Structure 1
């Protein structure tokens, strides 16, 4: 029997050390390479005082170690979270882990948006952020009291590319300016839900993992979408008469550029956000005028009865007085 050499022992020891990691790697879900910390948020969130590394927040945003709450489940709240650094990458992918939940069972809202825009840290009417923005918005609309006639249910996920000249039509859920969209059932589930936004070679694709299966389900793919470099990522949410907790659990940014061409990165910083195709515009119908409430009808009827009674009493008194005068003479 051949006596093992020192080289054999070293190889055997190396195999024993590497084997556990190989097995572990096969079981773990694979993600894109090159996650950039300066554009990412991972738990536990460790803010120092009111400072969150690489990110700013405003409004009613609350930072905890396990989640960042953009709005609480209260009326008329708004919050936002914005990355410091401009994105100098042409091709990228982001995974956003979130949870939207609240006490409402039939009425709830309004939703939140994921932004890649020129402007940052500006409040406004579009899910807590600026209207007439320049860039990309991924909107997750939960408003359960439908704004106008639609052919989809809520919650609803849609994308909008804007060069700063268009207004988001909140009263029609943005259906006249959206690139594409799909129904997404993520509200009030017990587990974390995820959305993937991939932008590569001017193709925008959005997928979701809403069933806790560790599988991406395609929402839509749109080609010929031009987005510049140098914009900022952000997230914002708002509540109105209806409300929800809008919690962010993670934001992971992945650089998909294998060969970085700095001249190309600089050149793309000058392009204007643009999309060659949109969904066919839907017929713009006016919302039906609201009918009178039961309370309003009651007070109108009460007023009519009171007026009629007053007229009757006046008429009776008038005729009694007139008859009495006739008998006196």
Structure 2
């Protein structure tokens, strides 16, 4: 009878403990999500020399005061069209002024649209922060083996066996030694990525890229909710200063209109240690401190793709499973201890 009275009383505190653990983890995850959210642009310092904002200067001409454009790029009063919805077009736009900010945030308003249905459209466009500028090439209309950072907004799956859902946004950091593989949609050199419905939307679509203290965060606002949604958040990224911002696009047998409506760069007010201040940031080599190099991000012999860094929810689930396991062990231990105590009492 003593054992039957003890068992029910142990159940409530067990579930209270489980509920408390889950609540704390949920609060932790929500706090991390809020911390990763980007600025609305009002509280940060806009750097106009690196920003492309309406009304554009130079409409009707072949150049702008702070920007150069190449190929099929067309400047109108409402947007900068990198490529029209026509085959075999290639265009880009590049900031003329190198950026020497250590911590920055780029907001891009864009529109990808065209007459193609289902998979009959392509290919997307790229945002760049690179040493090279204004160099056309095969990677969304720009140079391969670049130095710096690229964000690819890819709308067409070249790899038919891919498990990705397109359109797909991904990042690549390169020191000039890596080549972008179109046949695999850059899968071998991808740093991180996410799926985003960015094509043929009837509302405004935005992308935000934040780089601060080695942390690269990319978020989207493409659902007409006026709020940022996390795409990926990666630490250990090293980017130098003195590189250039740009955007480029290319079409092949399939096509789309790729329009840039605005690019706004904000300086983030971040304090750095004296050691960091003494570093020559222009001499830093682009790199990523991962458990594995992006070069290792390839198919293994079994045909399984090696997964990227753990996302916040994966970490949450792993922690939850671990803590639940600890709780179960504690409960079993408590029950065994109680039974032993009762057996001992029977001898008195």
TM-score by length of 1: 0.74
Write the distance in 1 (CA, Å) between the matches of 2:281 and 2:53: 29
Q: Which runs of 5+ in 1 are unaligned?
A: 1-28, 286-329
Over the aligned positions, Cα root-mean-square deviation in angstroms equals: 2.0
**What's the counterpart of residue 210 of structure 1?**
222
Alignment of 1:305-324 (within 5 A): none
Alignment of 1:21-170 (within 5 A): 31-47=42-58, 49-106=61-118, 107-144=120-157, 146-170=158-182
Residues 72 and 89 in structure 2, CA contact (< 8 A), matched pair in contact too: yes
**What's the counterpart of residue 285 of structure 2?**
272
Write the distance in 2 (CA, Å) between the matches of 1:41 and 1:104: 28
Distance 1:32 1:162, change over 3 A: farther
Residues 103 and 270 in structure 2, CA contact (< 8 A), matched pair in contact too: no
Offset of residue 143 of structure 1? 1.2
Write the distance in 2 (CA, Å) between the matches of 1:150 and 1:32: 41
SS of 1:269 mapped into structure 2: helix
**Equivalent position to 2:299, from 272, 277, 283:** 283
- The answer to whether the aligner puts 1:253 opposite 2:269 as a matched pair is no
TM-superposition CA deviations, 1:197-242 (whole Å, max 9, x none): 0000000000000011110000000100000000000000000000
Offset of residue 149 of structure 1? 1.4
Write the distance in 1 (CA, Å) between the matches of 2:278 and 2:204: 34
Write the distance in 2 (CA, Å) between the matches of 1:125 and 1:265: 38
Write the distance in 1 (CA, Å) between the matches of 2:81 and 2:285: 32
**What's the counterpart of residue 228 of structure 1?**
240
Write the distance in 1 (CA, Å) between the matches of 2:43 and 2:166: 30
**Equivalent position to 1:195, from 204, 207, 228:** 207
Residues 90 and 257 in structure 1, CA contact (< 8 A), matched pair in contact too: no
SS of 1:108 mapped into structure 2: coil
Offset of residue 46 of structure 1? 2.4
Q: Which has the higher helix share?
A: 2
Write the distance in 1 (CA, Å) between the matches of 2:203 and 2:65: 26
Residues 100 and 245 in structure 1, CA contact (< 8 A), matched pair in contact too: yes
Q: Which runs of 5+ in 2 are unaligned?
A: 1-39, 302-348
SS of 1:234 mapped into structure 2: strand
Write the distance in 1 (CA, Å) between the matches of 2:41 and 2:140: 32
Q: Decide which structure has the larger Cα Rg and report it.
A: 1
Write the distance in 2 (CA, Å) between the matches of 1:118 and 1:266: 18
Write the distance in 1 (CA, Å) between the matches of 2:110 and 2:80: 9
SS of 2:183 mapped into structure 1: helix
Write the distance in 1 (CA, Å) between the matches of 2:181 and 2:271: 40
- Deviant stretches of 4+, over 3 Å: 29-32, 257-261, 263-266
Residues 87 and 229 in structure 1, CA contact (< 8 A), matched pair in contact too: yes
Write the distance in 2 (CA, Å) between the matches of 1:168 and 1:161: 11
